[in-house]
A and B are shown apart, each in its own frame.
Chain A
Amino acid sequence: MSEKITFKELVELIAKQSNQSQNSTNSFIHELVGIIEEGLKKNGSVSLSGFGKFELRWMKERAGRNPQTGEEITIPGQNKVVFKPFKSLREDVNQPFANLESKIIGDDPDASKPAPKAVPLAAASSVASTKGDISIDDLLIEKENPRFPSAPVKKKPPLTTPSEEKLAREVQEKGTFNWSYAAAVVVVLAAFIILFFMMQRSGEQTDIAPTADDPTEQVLTPIEPVIEPDEQAADDDEAEPGEEIEQTSFETASHSLQSGETLWGIAESQLGNPYLWPVIYYLNLDVLDNPNQIPAESDIEIPSISDPDNLNEFEREQIALGYFSLYEWNRANNPDEARYFLWAVGVFSPDLLDQPPSQVDPDDLTFARNR
Chain B
Amino acid sequence: MNYKELIERLASQTGHSQNKTRQLLGEVTSVLSDQLSEGKSVSIPDLGTYGTKINDEKKVYNPHYDAYILVPPKRVVDFTPSSVIKEKMKFLETSDE
Contacts and interface: CB of A to CB of B under 8 A. Distances in A.
Contacts of A49: 3, 29
B85 to A, nearest CB: 6
Contacts of B70: 102-105, 112, 177, 181
Interface in A237-286: 259-260
Contacts of A90: 76-77
Given A14-B27, A90-B76, A7 B33 contact: no
Given A32-B28, A41-B89, A93 B59 contact: no
A319 to B, nearest CB: 29
A38 interface: yes
A36 B39 contact: no
A101 B74 CA distance: 10
Given A14-B28, A33-B44, A215-B64, A39 B5 contact: yes
Contacts of A121: 54
Contact of B2 (A33, A47, A82): A47
Interface string A63-104: 000000000000000111111010011101111110011111
Contacts, number: 224
Contacts of B33: 51, 88-89, 92-93
A48 B3 contact: yes
The interface size bin for chain B is 35 or more
Contacts of A85: 76-77
A129 B5 CA distance: 51
With most chain B CB atoms within 10 A of its CB, the pick from A120, A121, A177 is A120
A179 B75 CA distance: 25
Nearest to B54: A120
Interface in B35-66: 35-37, 39-48, 50-54, 56-57, 59, 61-62, 64-66
The interface residues of chain B, by DSSP majority, are classed as mixed
B50 to A, nearest CB: 8
Contact of B91 (A78, A112, A181): A78
B52 A28 contact: no
Interface string A188-228: 10000000000000000000000000011001000000000
Contact of A28 (B14, B62, B77, B96): B14
A101 to B, nearest CB: 6
Given A13-B31, A31-B14, A47-B3, A123 B43 contact: no
Given A14-B28, A124-B54, A42 B1 contact: yes
A252 to B, nearest CB: 29
With most chain A CB atoms within 10 A of its CB, the pick from B28, B53, B74, B95 is B28
A121 B54 CA distance: 8
A97 B24 contact: no
Contacts of B57: 117-118, 120
A94 B35 contact: no
Given A47-B3, A83-B79, A104-B69, 8 more contacts: A1-B54, A4-B42, A13-B35, A39-B5, A43-B97, A102-B72, A104-B65, A109-B59
Interface of B: 1-3, 5-6, 9-10, 13-14, 22-33, 35-37, 39-48, 50-54, 56-57, 59, 61-62, 64-77, 79, 81, 85-86, 88-92, 94-97
A-B complex: 8 closest residue pairs judged by Cβ atoms: A39-B1, A100-B72, A120-B73, A83-B79, A81-B81, A51-B29, A18-B27, A85-B77
